[in-house]
Homo-oligomer: A and B are copies of this chain.
Amino acid sequence: MNIGFVGVGRMGANMARRLKETGFHVTAVYDADRAVATKLATELGCAASQDVADVTAQSDVILTVVSDDAAMREIFLRDGDNLLVNARGKLFINCATVSPNVHVEIEGLAKRAGARTLEACMASSITQAREGTLYLMCGGDEQTFRDAQPVLEKLGSKVRYIGKAGEAAKVKALVNMVMNINTAGIAEGLGLGDALGLDLTMLREVFAETGAASRVLQTDGEDMQNRDHSCYFSAAHAAKDSGIALTLAEELSLDLPLARATKKQYDAMVQEGLGELDKSGIAELTFKNRHKHRGDHV
């Protein structure tokens, strides 16, 4: 089975490496940043496609790992060059966190082109992509999900069918909305603890043993304390994902004050030029002696 990739940033590149080493033919990769695609193509010994239609031409299964709704629309709908040119019989597995309606729209267009799509939303990060231990939430036709299994099971240690197109994207948006709230909450707890002169290592231990415990406390708490914000999941992505959830809430006239406050914090990071920090960098806003209060840089 020939595999193509569109969008080979750190996630996509690691997924391509993983599929190659588990025996798949990775035939073509494309990235909006041509140098990124060329470098990976050299490493993997495959083609660096100059347009996305070439990835479709060279592959049976095409994985897309792009950044947002606009990028998804561009690769599937762009006039002239798009993934659905001569796409009959192809299977697209779309991994970006985008709005649910984008998945529904693209599934319809693909169907008309004789192709199939599956959303495979990833609830893990770069390391897990490399190791094939992603948590994958899938949406789309159930038979398509079954047909994609050989690829999915090499990428993820947990592969879960959620429902029809758009459903996995809804769940993913909710996961990230709650994760971002918990992250912003930990940043406030540690920020106030620091201002009170408490030992933050002790405080994190107590948090971990009590009702304050959370997954993000484990993954981000120490980084907040040590101000280590090398990026696994950027503040800009956090802002985008909370925004997807808030748009869904608005469409349903549901007011979510915590999600709103969280998005405002991540938006503030972007505005302050901190958008490419890891999401743990939100501590820059809640610690007295850091960016927001001192104006200094990380």
Residues of chain A whose beta carbon lies under 8 Å from any beta carbon of chain B: 123-124, 135, 137, 158, 160, 162, 167, 170-171, 174-179, 181-182, 184-186, 188-189, 191-193, 195-196, 198, 202-203, 206-207, 209-216, 219, 245, 248-249, 252-254, 256-262, 264-265, 286, 288
| 9 sample A-B contacts, Cβ–Cβ < 8 Å, listed by A number | A135-B210, A160-B206, A174-B212, A175-B206, A175-B207, A181-B185, A184-B258, A196-B252, A257-B261
In the complex, chain B residues whose CB is within 8 Å of the CB of A206: 123, 137, 160, 162, 171, 175
Q: Which of B171, B258, B265 contacts A262 (CB 8 A)?
A: B258
On whether A212 and B175 interact (CB within 8 A), knowing A198-B167, A258-B261, the answer reads: yes
A214, B288: Cβ atoms closer than 8 Å: no
Known pairs A181-B188, A253-B288; list 18 more (Cβ under 8 Å). Answer: A135-B209, A158-B209, A162-B206, A171-B198, A171-B206, A175-B210, A178-B186, A179-B211, A181-B182, A182-B185, A184-B258, A188-B257, A191-B254, A192-B249, A210-B215, A212-B215, A258-B262, A258-B265
CA distance A198 to B166 in the complex (A): 11
CA distance A256 to B181 in the complex (A): 12
Q: Which of B160, B162, B215 contacts A211 (CB 8 A)?
A: B215
State how many copies of this chain the complex holds. Answer: 2
Q: Which of B160, B178, B193 contacts A185 (CB 8 A)?
A: B178
B192, A248: Cβ atoms closer than 8 Å: yes
In the complex, chain B residues whose CB is within 8 Å of the CB of A249: 192, 195
Q: Which of B192, B216, B262 contacts A256 (CB 8 A)?
A: B192
CA distance A256 to B261 in the complex (A): 10
CA distance A214 to B211 in the complex (A): 8
CA distance A216 to B174 in the complex (A): 16
Q: Is the interface of A mostly helix, strand, loop or mixed?
A: helix
On whether A162 and B202 interact (CB within 8 A), knowing A192-B177, A258-B188, A261-B257, the answer reads: yes
B207, A178: Cβ atoms closer than 8 Å: yes
CA distance A189 to B207 in the complex (A): 22
CA distance A216 to B210 in the complex (A): 9
B254, A192: Cβ atoms closer than 8 Å: yes
A275 smallest CB distance to B (angstroms): 18
CA distance A167 to B196 in the complex (A): 9
CA distance A123 to B211 in the complex (A): 7
In the complex, chain B residues whose CB is within 8 Å of the CB of A253: 288
A123, B195: Cβ atoms closer than 8 Å: no
A188, B178: Cβ atoms closer than 8 Å: yes
A189, B177: Cβ atoms closer than 8 Å: yes
CA distance A260 to B162 in the complex (A): 34
CA distance A66 to B178 in the complex (A): 33
Q: Which of B124, B219, B256 contacts A188 (CB 8 A)?
A: B256
In the complex, chain B residues whose CB is within 8 Å of the CB of A210: 123-124, 135, 175, 179, 215
B265, A203: Cβ atoms closer than 8 Å: no
